[in-house]
Structure 1
Amino acid sequence: MLSDAEIAGAAELWPIARVAAEQLGVPEEALLPHGRHIAKLDRAWLATLADRPLGKLVLVTGISPTPPGEGKTTTVVGLTDGLRRLGVRATAALREPSMGPVFGMKGGAAGGGYAQVVPMTDINLHFTGDFAAVAAANNLLAALLDNHLHHGNALGIEHRTITWKRVIDLNDRALRDVVVGLGGVAHGVPREDGWDIVVASELMAIFCLATSLADLRERIGRIVVAHDREGSPVTARDLQAQDALTILLASALQPNLVQTLEHSPVFVHGGPFANIAHGCNSVLATRTALQLSDVVVTEAGFGADLGAEKFFDLKCRLSGLRPDAAVVVVTARALKWHGGVAQADLEREDLGAVRAGAANLRRHLRNLRDVFGVPAVVAVNRFPGDTDAELSLVHELADAEDCAAFTATHATDGGEGALDLAQGVRTQLDKDEVDFAFCYPEEGDVESKALAVAQRVYHADAVTFSPRARRQLDRVVADGYGHLPVCFAKTQYSFSTDPAALGAPSGHTVEVREVRLSAGAGFVVLVTGEVLTMPGLPKVPASARMSIDDDGHVLGLS
């Protein structure tokens, strides 16, 4: 089989105006083209969609991720193409890839094989410059803050309380903790600082939750950057920064339209990390897709315990959107991994390991049904080494949970390979069985909400706070933010905070080591385990496999 880059390079793409017109009914004057195959949708035209009814929303999630990968994005693309082949007006809504993972460990994030979003290289790299705009706005706020300190500090900011960091869209562990303002009086106030990756920033979360330019401006103004000498919070509004940041983000806030290899429309917009932030594409992109389509297929990052929980409890809660069905992506080799098989042995048939690893699938399916009231369809993403016996067992295990399972081969066969899955999703949508509920009510404090997620979703016994985290939480409560929903920053590999605890661990303790307020986004981040907001590069990064030929074609990006 050809590589992802070779398949994408050989594709015959439609002009984006044709995709917009024929697949969505969007006129050419509503497009702001970025070349021939990418466009943003004009903000003024989007306002004309306000009264349109919304289509149905399908969330694609998965079991707890494994090193071999399950293929959630690929499944989103294949399912969308499959629904289109069945005559359903379907659209996909995805996050933009971060260049940190692209050049680090993960590689590209635009699908794979014959279920890709294209132009793949552009999407994986600079795309329309949205991430650069978020980085510039974030770093402008940091510069304004340090400039305020330098020019007399009229707000009386206690510089040791500053929490706002600078960001870059790359993995660079050397930037995690730095000192700024060195070099003498003319160069600013010396203080400890640090850098996060763009997709872990509060501003990225705000960008993806904002419903309009006015909402974006209001949310930016609420960002808490530090405290003054009396202990009161200092906001971006206090620094008179909200307008300048909004100006930098105004163009980026308009959703991006691209296409699959089969010319299905795809909105790719925003990209918060799911193990740190809420891990979903922008509310504006999802809502626009729902206004223009009968069915929208979207994705929440990592497993259902992280991605789906945050999709429901954060994105849906804060936006008013509601899911109509879920798709849980699983592979036979992922179940074998959770059943204790080493990565080198995953190609060997092992029905016992599949059955043992099914505890992880079972937990996710029951969480979706029993906690959130969302019915799920199981997508069995077939890989070449999978045996018929293993796949049959996966179907049997899903049936035991009263969930229909469908084997799909979209990576090798495109939309044709996802027809059974698409029909299964359409059948589920026709049942209209959703009795959606959040994991916890709006009322209550941070600790009760954290305990609800830990017990109901992670199946833990308790949540504890380190002394530092306890002090930070007390500050959040004292400042008046103790009512906000919670966003766990946690390893994606396990229901626990130990990435090595595979399967479906229960009875563990979730230990919170740090509490971060995201007042503009509207939630409190609880950092657990060894999760980092600035990743490092592996010993052999993905960038080492990449090259570019004399014609400018990028090779090795997949």
Structure 2
Amino acid sequence: MFSLKDIEIAQQAEMRNIKEVAEKVGLKPSDIEQYGDFKAKIKLPIKKSTKTKEKLILVTAINPTPAGEGKSTVTVGLGDAFSLLDKKVMIALREPSLGPVMGMKGGATGGGYSQVVPMEDINLHFTGDMHALTTANNTLAALIDNHIYQGNSLDIDQRRIIWKRVLDINDRALRHVVIGLGGISQGIPREDGFDITVASELMAVLCLAQNVADLKRRIGNIVIGYTTKRKPVTVDQLGVTGAIALLLKDAIKPNLVQTLAHTPAIIHGGPFANIAHGCNSVLATQTALKLADYTITEAGFGADLGAEKFLDIKTPVLGKSPDTIVIVATVRALKMHGGVKKEDLKQENVEALKNGYVNLSRHINNMKQYNVPVVVAINQFVSDTETELQCLQKLCADEGTKAIVANVWAKGGAGALELAKEVVNSCEQVSEFAPLYSAEDEIKVKVEKIVTKIYGGTKVEYGTKAKRQLKQFAELGWNHLPVCMAKTQYSLSDDAKKLGAPTDFTIHVREFVPKLGAQFIVALTGNVLTMPGLPKIPAANGMDLSDEGKISGLY
């Protein structure tokens, strides 16, 4: 069993027709649009089932390491465990981006016997949402340049256009480009650049919109640049809001698939958590809440990024706070946070585990600040020793947090039954959600609260451009929007090499990017990039397609 790869396990699965999966949560064939036998779009709007409890479980994790944490795997396994307990459950995940699929991180469909399927389709082109977002983004870019070429009646300053083109693949060569070369008929030459599609503001807009009207409102509010008098220019002013919305008419509908155990799963929206807000769509989560008693969702990367953004950016729009937060940790990853090299992780090392526990401890205490019950899921690996597992459970217990070992990669839902029972009990606790900052706090105050209360830093340094922008945004009335921190995922600081739980450090904000459609301000810290690069040996090098059409090398 352990010799099988994730893709081999997925390819051996016997999937049910998506209509059967939809019926589990009360969806009729007329409520879905099928994309073949195993995928479907859910038609909007969805009517709420009168019997749903609307319990929301947020799965997050420690800071990721090359040792692996398995947040999505635990999310899927936990959902299957709920099904085994005869609970009406739905899973809500983000869509994978081709960037990490072809690059280094891999796909986002779980692993082992805790996967969503069809994993090949989901990790590749799926239902075309990423292509629709890429096309919509680049259509807007083309319309901006055409407006300038055709006379520029809006007086757009071509030096101050902030709308970039995008591509759903890691391509460092496109980070900074010059367009419009080749003569007057080719357009107006200017500097430009590409982001990865999942960093596009349209991705955030799609994931935060509550319906088509809200989608159009948000698209219209997007600031694409500034005039020569430094006044913001919006998509509405450009007159193309309807056209951009039209390109997203199908992408706004949540996607329905299933786990290996046939638990219904919605996969919709895919913003990265290190450069965007890291949560699946509000519509996906709302749909699951309407259809199931328990909705299990996740936020990208560690709790310092994805969970903080879920709680401070998505929750106010969703109108529902989590009933329980599950933090995923592994013995392996904590030993790496404790100073152990990757090649030595299979050796028992309790001292390193204790040293690395500070990372998990910081995340536990951070999540408790929101006044939501917290449960730790210890994602078990084959090399974990009983001594190490017991040690980690005791470390958590000493801080008043229950930690449950889950063996979901090998056993699927059966490996998370104890965890599921604890989460069910946790969801019944009475709590009153407390956001990290007030909506009325100024941008600077919000940044400093995130840095000091979540990251554990002592102060924030603002670059010259960032200081100028703080003043400008206050004048424009943008000073009270939520803040989306763009920061390395590997550390609580903005230095990827500082593992564990660093203290007495400074976060460096070099620039802010206004996202008026998404209704938040992005703070770019350290050297984080919105267009990643490929590793020396990309995952793509190991992929293939047989003459019979069988895919290999995806993970």
TM-score by length of 1: 0.98
Q: Is the 8 A contact 2:99 2:196 kept in 1?
A: yes
Which residue number in structure 1 is paired with residue 405 of structure 2?
407
User: Are 2:437 and 1:436 aligned?
Assistant: no
Query: Residue type of the partner of 1:285?
Result: A
Query: Residue type of the partner of 1:257?
Result: L
Query: Which of 459, 463, 472 matches 2:460?
Result: 463
Residues 525-536 of structure 1: pairs in structure 2 closer than 5 A: 525-536=522-533
State the shift of 1:47 in Å: 4.2
Residues 34-113 of structure 1: pairs in structure 2 closer than 5 A: 34-43=35-44, 46-49=45-48, 55-113=54-112
Residues 371-382 of structure 1: pairs in structure 2 closer than 5 A: 371-382=369-380
Which residue number in structure 2 is paired with residue 153 of structure 1?
152
Query: Which of 535, 543, 550 matches 1:553?
Result: 550
Query: Which of 422, 445, 448 matches 2:420?
Result: 422
Residues 74-473 of structure 1: pairs in structure 2 closer than 5 A: 74-369=73-368, 371-430=369-428, 432-473=429-470
User: Are 2:486 and 1:489 aligned?
Assistant: yes
Which residue number in structure 2 is paired with residue 18 of structure 1?
20
State the shift of 1:59 in Å: 0.3
Take 2:125 and 2:413, find their aligned partners in 1: how far apart are those partners?
28
Take 2:68 and 2:206, find their aligned partners in 1: how far apart are those partners?
28
Q: Is the 8 A contact 2:282 2:317 kept in 1?
A: no
Q: CA, structure 1 residues 456+121, in 2 after alignment: closer, same or farther (shift >3 Å)?
A: same
State the shift of 1:51 in Å: 7.8
State the shift of 1:53 in Å: 5.7
Query: Residue type of the partner of 1:33?
Result: Q
Residues 512-527 of structure 1: pairs in structure 2 closer than 5 A: 512-527=509-524
Q: Is the 8 A contact 1:54 1:287 kept in 2?
A: no
Take 1:64 and 1:231, find their aligned partners in 2: how far apart are those partners?
39
State the shift of 1:49 in Å: 3.2
The DSSP-based 3-state class of the residue aligned with 1:469 is: helix
Take 2:53 and 2:185, find their aligned partners in 1: how far apart are those partners?
56
Take 1:422 and 1:342, find their aligned partners in 2: how far apart are those partners?
32
Take 1:263 and 1:548, find their aligned partners in 2: how far apart are those partners?
27
State the shift of 1:265 in Å: 0.3
Q: Is the 8 A contact 1:52 1:291 kept in 2?
A: no
Give structure 1 regions of 4+ aligned residues with deviation exceeding 4 angstroms.
50-54
Take 1:491 and 1:357, find their aligned partners in 2: how far apart are those partners?
18
State the shift of 1:471 in Å: 2.1
Take 2:189 and 2:354, find their aligned partners in 1: how far apart are those partners?
57
Take 2:50 and 2:156, find their aligned partners in 1: how far apart are those partners?
45
Instruction: Please list the CA deviations of residues 532-552 of structure 1 after superposition, one character each: whole Å capped at 9, or x if unmatched.
Output: 000010000000111111111
The DSSP-based 3-state class of the residue aligned with 1:322 is: coil
Instruction: Please list the CA deviations of residues 110-164 of structure 1 after superposition, one character each: whole Å capped at 9, or x if unmatched.
Output: 0000000000000000000001111111111101100000000001111111000
State the shift of 1:473 in Å: 2.8
Take 2:459 and 2:72, find their aligned partners in 1: how far apart are those partners?
33
Q: How many residues align?
A: 553
State the shift of 1:506 in Å: 1.5
Q: Is the 8 A contact 2:79 2:263 kept in 1?
A: yes
State the shift of 1:52 in Å: 7.7
The DSSP-based 3-state class of the residue aligned with 2:332 is: helix
Take 2:552 and 2:431, find their aligned partners in 1: how far apart are those partners?
44
CA RMSD of aligned residues (A): 1.1
State the shift of 1:319 in Å: 2.6
Query: Residue type of the partner of 2:107?
Result: G
Query: Residue type of the partner of 1:429?
Result: C
Query: Residue type of the partner of 1:229?
Result: T
The DSSP-based 3-state class of the residue aligned with 1:443 is: coil
TM-score by length of 2: 0.98
Take 1:437 and 1:353, find their aligned partners in 2: how far apart are those partners?
34
State the shift of 1:478 in Å: 2.4
Q: Is the 8 A contact 1:61 1:328 kept in 2?
A: yes
Take 1:441 and 1:454, find their aligned partners in 2: how far apart are those partners?
15
Take 1:322 and 1:177, find their aligned partners in 2: how far apart are those partners?
39
Which residue number in structure 2 is paired with residue 29 of structure 1?
30
Take 1:444 and 1:4, find their aligned partners in 2: how far apart are those partners?
46
Give structure 1 stretches of 5+ with no counterpart. none
Which residue number in structure 2 is paired with residue 543 of structure 1?
540
Take 2:147 and 2:372, find their aligned partners in 1: how far apart are those partners?
49
The DSSP-based 3-state class of the residue aligned with 1:60 is: strand
Q: Is the 8 A contact 2:52 2:292 kept in 1?
A: no
State the shift of 1:54 in Å: 5.7
Q: Is the 8 A contact 1:315 1:321 kept in 2?
A: no
Q: Is the 8 A contact 2:68 2:332 kept in 1?
A: no
Instruction: Please list the CA deviations of residues 35-75 of structure 1 after superposition, one character each: whole Å capped at 9, or x if unmatched.
Output: 100000112xx343398866100000011111111000000
Instruction: Please list the CA deviations of residues 502-527 of structure 1 after superposition, one character each: whole Å capped at 9, or x if unmatched.
Output: 11111211100111000100100001
Take 1:425 and 1:532, find their aligned partners in 2: how far apart are those partners?
36
State the shift of 1:231 in Å: 1.6
The DSSP-based 3-state class of the residue aligned with 1:91 is: strand
Q: Is the 8 A contact 2:286 2:318 kept in 1?
A: no
